[in-house]
A and B are shown apart, each in its own frame.
Chain A
């Protein structure tokens, strides 16, 4: 076991090195982003001496990252709100209400959970094109909602199952309709789960590139991640600007990591412990 002190430190040293290897690529990128091109070419490892914030400004304004950022913000915000709304409505019905077909519906949801996007992307693109939704915000939003809804319903259903049926019954005796129970009881009581699932869905949507490439391909409509992939070709000779663009795209998720790490972990583990 790890009883002896020497062994504990023998394990800790490689783990610390691994931690360093986890952090270093990001530190390297930050450092490069703040260098002049000349500094980068001369010595890419030395700490930046000039602190070129201009690179970040250039990436934000002239490269178009601001536009891509706005696109991502719009699409992700609306997608996550719709996911939480539809997911909690269905989760409430499937966990607390009795109605014909509820079992079949939950199984259908589980089945949909097993269909990866790559498997349906060709026909989905055709359905979207036929209905005029390709390369539009609603089209991409619908694709995200469809992709992550089964997972959202699954987690919301298992969370709502932990709420005793007596609470719903009592609320109904007090004169609430089913919709009233949803609004006054289920939404407030579901806050912790909604927060976890909401953060995870934000990560999924914000970080996606495949769905966005397929659904909103034109240059004007690029989301932030699609924008980053196009940076590579444009700025292969100007690595500091490239690194700045990459950092801008990473900042929102790094913020979520710094402040909401526990909620992400809760969401991830909820999937593993609730069958």
Chain B
């Protein structure tokens, strides 16, 4: 009897350990796939998505036209509603913020996307299929939004 209890205890322990381990794995499974370098459909910029803490953020690391033709200086966030933040350079600007990955729906949500061309901030949800991101920005209702597709940029490693 004592032996069978010990055996059952061991099985229970193994089961508990395997459940715990698989739950740990599932927390991040898939979520980090978004990390990397991406290009919006208009090809005007490249955005690097990274993870800070438990959330995902994306910033502009490359601009096709980095110089503002009016000022002949690097482009800045001139449309920001806060006048004191209008000198922040667009190159390096964090335009995707606060995305959390939902394992069930396989989407990154809860975040925002900033459009520097209008100075507008939109709610945003991101899905990914075959290394293509569907970035849906919206105000209020998700159905009334616009989706852009971003392709992954694979950089060749320097030799």
A and B pair up? no
B residues neighboring A (CB under 8 Å): none
A residues neighboring B (CB under 8 Å): none
